[in-house]
Structure formats: structure tokens, C-alpha cells
Structure 1
Amino acid sequence: MKFRWTWCLPLVASMTLAACGTTSGGGVSKPGPNGPAGDAASLTAYHWKLQQAFSPAGAEDQSWFLSGNNAPIELEFADQRVMVKNLCNVISAGYSVEGQRLNVQRTVSTLRACNDSQLMMLEQKVARILPTSKQWNVQLGGTTQEQPRLTVQFIDGTRWQLSGKPTPQTQYGSAPERIFLEVAPERKACSHGVMKDYQCLQVREIRYGENGVKTYTGPWENFYSEIEGYKHEAGVSNVLRINRFKRQNVPADASSYAYVLDMVVSSAIADKRK
């Protein structure tokens, strides 16, 4: 069984709005960082996770958060596009900044169906408000322990506050190499230094031509590292698009590369009859 990512037509029309001066919008914010203000480059240097939201009237608004194990909304800015993650689908839109003004274009989305009606309702709500973004502000941490904060205000007065975590490119200080790995359904026991009873992922490299046709499939190998952002489910094979980063100052017993999941290209449940 395979799951494909497909882009649909724009969900909502874009709105380009001029900033008229930053306002707090009321509400009691969590303590913020004490560092300097960030520039536009700081938007792309971090993954931004929603920490607090405020209504147009200034009251704290929990409707942007779901109960249970659902992760908060996360924004990523890259290649002049903003992506919204941790919904049912991935929403994205082009964006630009002019000073403290944030212009977000109309959105597109993948077309995955979810059984969680609350998550789908939140997704639709995010798709409606995102193109009405008006102003942004980043406050950097004064120390390495302080997370930076992004504040986004929308035309109706809604306000988001998001905490930042460095992107892999910021963390590792270099651009990644993109590779494709197929991960087998089951792990296998392997020798991994002092780690007893270690279970390695089984992977093989896949290469594609510019036309998307597979041109190479490598042999199965033990994979002694882990893939950041990937949670393996026994019995399910996956083809993954991976960003591989060269690590600096690597310990003698560690991998010289860091592997970060970019996207799951396809998935299939193993045939247990074999």
C-alpha cells in the first residue's frame, strides 16, 4: 500500500497588507528572550513551534491547540516559502518581507484525508488565516539556552508567538546533500560498539534520474545511525528523501554524517506471507 503526496489548488486568496505599527494585542505572554532583534535571515534559521496564541480582543486563545498527543503548529521558512506542519496535511505558501511587514500568498496543500475532524478543522482555520499575515518580529535569545521568539500578527488582530529551534543547516553549518534511502520493514541485530543488542535499520540507496525514473538500487546494508524526524514502524517499508549533513568535530566512535528526514516518498506494508 502506498501513500502519495499531491498538491491541490489554492485554498484561499492572498492578501497583501501594509504594517501600521506593531501592537501587543493584549494578553499575558510567557517570558521572552532577552537578546537582540532578528533580521529576515533569522526566519529561515529556525523551525518555529507555536507556543501561545491570542484572540483579536487580546485574550489567550487555546483554539489553535489540540488536546492529546497532537504536536503544536510548526512553521518553516525556506526558499521564499512558508510551510505549516503538524496538521493533517502540509500547507505552504510563498512569502516576502518588507521591514516588519509579512506578505503571505495564497496557500496550497497536500491532499491527505484524516479521520481526526478536529485536526481537519484546525487545518482549514490555519489555511484561512495564513494569507492575512501582517507583521512579524523575531527576538533572539541572549544565551544559547534561550530559544528565540517569533511573533506574527494577522490583520484581524490575532497574534501568534512561536519558539525557535535551529534548523539542521543552522545546527551543522553547511548545506545538505540530498539522498534517497529505502528502509526495510524490520530492523536486524547488529554490532554497534558498546551498545548491546542493538537493532539496525536495514537501508539501501536509491537514485533517480531528472525525469523521476529510478536509475539505481543499492544493496541492503546495516544503518548504524538514526534519521532525525523519522520514526520507524515495524512491518512498514518506506522510501525516504534525506538531507545528509557533514558533521564537524566528530567523536571517534560517531558517524561523520547527520541524517535528517526531508519527506516520506512512499510507504508499503510488508507482505507477511513471504
Structure 2
Amino acid sequence: MLLLLLVLAACAQTPEATGPAPSTTPASTTAASAPATSGADLLGRYHWQLNNAIDSKGTRIDALFVRPNQPLQLDFSADRLNVVNSCNTLGAGYSIKKGRMQVGPMVSTMMACRDPGLAALDDAISQRLRGSLNVNLLARDNAPSLQLVTDSGDTLSFTGVPTAETRYGGPGEIAFLEVAPQSVPCNHPLIPDKQCLLVRERYFDEQGLASGTPGPWQPLNQDIDGYTHTPGIRNVLRVKRFTVRNPPADAPSVAYVLDLVVESEKVGQ
């Protein structure tokens, strides 16, 4: 069964800042008075993972924590936020002015989730990411934090995890890798009997159609960040390829980060 989900339009990636994050400054004061490099720009440099949520009485909002190993996450571009790890893909426009975040209507895909708690998660987060929210963004060097407070008194607290662009200091290059169903033996100086993904580069035109001749199959002697391989499944991945500055000895000079699984096929044995 072949699942084709090729979304080449996203290759025009939303620009994200590439320099280091500014040090301790609350966005509630800088968003109105400082250049864009402090508020919205800082938001775009991190994945914001929900670590706590309480209502006006201080009671934890359990409906937002149905998957502890996959916390709700907010990703920001210049004028849009996306909700990750909910049931559906959610997104809305936003703006920040004078310490307030104005969130536009939330749009969503229409996938059904069998788990009742997960199905209710979309409504639980959408109800709180709407209208005008008080925003407090603190840019600590190691763990920036984001706090959103609704008019009803719910407080959502997030921890910033650097994006790949932030970690590697640049926007990266979009590439497509086809991953063979089975891994293969490969040489590794520290890991005997190492198994590697077998990959080849693929090419697509602006309409999302396969073009050109695929590259040769070869073992990939490193991981693809964010990708977990299932034996017997052939995948085509859209990845971001980054140059690693000053890699350690025997470490790769290139890093691969999963952007999207665009094609998946179960291959019979």
C-alpha cells in the first residue's frame, strides 16, 4: 500500500534567525520597544514544549497532558503558530504587541483519533489559544521559557528547545532521501556489527513529480534526527541537511534532520 504525501510547497521554508538567542529579556517589554530580533524572532528559534498548565484556581489542566512522552508543542514563524503533537495539525495567525499575543481563528486538519483523550486534546488547546493572551517570554541562555495567560486565568508554561536551524547556525538545505526497507551491515570504528540505513538521493520538480535519476544506494553511517526506521517499510523522506561546524574526530561533518515523510510503502518479504 502506497501512501503519497508529497508536500513540496513547504520547501519554501519560513525564514528563521540563525544567530544566537539574546540573553535574559522578557518579551512582554521588548516586543513593543525593541527590534524584531527579540520577540517574534526568538519565538521562531525554538520549539516550545508545554511543561505545565494550570487554571485560575491553580489546578493542573490534565486534558492538555494526554501523552506525557509527546508534549504539546508550539512552533512559530514570522506571523503564524502551529500546534504539534495534538490529534490534528492546528495552526493560526498571530501577532504580538505591548505584551499581548493576538491569535487568529484556528484551522485544523480533519483526522479522527480513536483515543478519546487525544481526540479531545484539539479542543482543549484550541479553546486556550484564541483571542488575546498575555505573553511573557524570558530568553535565558540555556532554557528560554514562554508563558501564555488567557483572560479566564489559565496559565500555559512552555520550555524552549532549539530548532535545528538554531543548533547548526543556518537554514540548512532541503534534500530527499529514499530509505530501503532493510538496513545493511556497515563499518563503524566504535560499534561492531553496526547496521546502517541504506539510502539514495531522490529528486522532484516544482510540481512534486519525480525527476532525474536517483543517486546510488549507499549506507548512511549516521542517524537521521527525528526518524525511526521500521524494518520492511520503504520511505522517501524530505530532510534538512546541515553542515556541522568543527565536528569531533570521526564524527560526520553533515547532519540530517527529518522534515517530512513524503512517501511510505510496506514491502513484502
TM-score by length of 1: 0.81
> How far has the Cα of 1:70 moved from its partner?
4.2
Q: Any idea what the Cα deviations from partners look like across 1:229-264, whole Å, max 9, x if unmatched? A: 111111112111111111111123111111111111
Gaps of 5+ in 2: 8-22, 28-37
Measured in 2, the distance between the counterparts of 1:6 and 1:242 equals: 13
Measured in 1, the distance between the counterparts of 2:225 and 2:175 equals: 14
Measured in 2, the distance between the counterparts of 1:6 and 1:136 equals: 36
Partner of 1:265: 262
> Is 1:132 aligned to residue 97 of structure 2?
no
* 2:244 equivalent among 221, 225, 247: 247
Measured in 2, the distance between the counterparts of 1:91 and 1:75 equals: 10
Partner of 1:37: 26
Q: What is the alpha-carbon root mean square deviation over aligned residues?
A: 2.2
One-letter amino acid of the counterpart of residue 150, structure 2: F
Report the identity percentage: 37
CA contact (8 A) 2:6 2:263 kept: no
**Further displaced range: 114-123 or 41-50:** 114-123
In the alignment of these two chains, the number of paired residues is: 242
Partner of 1:115: 114
Gaps of 5+ in 1: 8-33
Question: Helix, strand or coil for the counterpart of 1:126?
Answer: helix
Measured in 2, the distance between the counterparts of 1:185 and 1:111 equals: 30
> Is 1:231 aligned to residue 231 of structure 2?
no
Measured in 1, the distance between the counterparts of 2:229 and 2:187 equals: 19
What is the 5 A alignment of 1:39-188? 39-40=38-39, 41-66=41-66, 70-141=69-140, 144=142, 147-188=143-184
Measured in 2, the distance between the counterparts of 1:248 and 1:74 equals: 28
What is the 5 A alignment of 1:206-217? 206-216=202-212, 217=214
Measured in 1, the distance between the counterparts of 2:87 and 2:102 equals: 24
